Amino acid sequence: MSGSKSLLIDSIGELFTANDDGDLYYDAALVVEDGKIAWVGHRLERPAADEYLDLGNRAVVPGFVDSHAHLVFAGDRSGEFDARMSGEPYDGGGIRNTVAATRNAKDDRLRENCARLTAEMLRQGTTTVEIKSGYGLTVEDELRSLRIAGEFTTETTYLGAHTVPTGADPDEYTALAAGPMLDACAPHAKWIDVFCERGAFDGDQARAVLTAGAAAGLQTRVHANQLTEGPGVRLAVELGAASADHCTHLSDADVDALANSSTVATLLPGAEFSTRSPYPDARRLIDAGARVALATDCNPGSSFTSSMAFCIALAVREMRMTPAEALYAATSGGADALRRTDIGRIVPGARADFVVLDAPSYVHLAYRPGTPLVQAVYREGRVVA
pLDDT digits 0-9 by tens, 86-125: 988 876 668 889 999 999 999 999 999 999 999 999 999 9
Identify residue 175 by its one-letter amino acid code: A
Predicted pLDDT of residue 89: 82
In tens, the pLDDT along 306-357 reads: 999 999 999 999 999 999 999 999 999 999 999 999 999 999 999 999 999 9
Please give the C-alpha separations between residue 33 and each of 13, 354, 380, in angstroms, as whole numbers: 21, 14, 9
Please give the C-alpha separations between residue 101 and each of 133, 258, 305, 348, in angstroms, as whole numbers: 14, 36, 20, 45
In tens, the pLDDT along 225-265 reads: 999 999 999 999 999 999 999 999 999 999 999 999 999 99
Q: CA angle 249-19-361, nearest 5°?
A: 85
Q: Report whether pLDDT(281) > 80.
A: yes
For every residue of 274-341, DSSP letters joined together read HHT-PPP-HHHHHHHT--EEE---BBTTTB----HHHHHHHHHHHS---HHHHHHHHTHHHHHHTT-S
The band of 159, judged by pLDDT with boundaries at 50, 70 and 90, is very high
Predicted pLDDT of residue 107: 98
Compute the mean pLDDT over every residue in the chain, rounded to the nearest whole number.
Answer: 96
State what percent of residues in the chain have pLDDT above 70.
98
Please give the C-alpha separations between residue 146 and each of 12, 153, 293, in angstroms, as whole numbers: 39, 10, 24
Predicted pLDDT of residue 88: 85
Predicted pLDDT of residue 1: 42
Q: Quick check: 132 and 157 in contact, CB under 8 A?
A: yes
CA distance 121 to 313: 16
Q: What is the pTM of this model?
A: 0.97
* Segment 81-86 mean pLDDT: 92
H or E element that contains 142: helix 139-149
In tens, the pLDDT along 356-384 reads: 999 999 999 999 999 999 999 999 999 99
In tens, the pLDDT along 283-307 reads: 999 999 999 999 999 999 999 999 9
Predicted pLDDT of residue 3: 63
Q: CA angle 248-254-256, nearest 5°?
A: 125
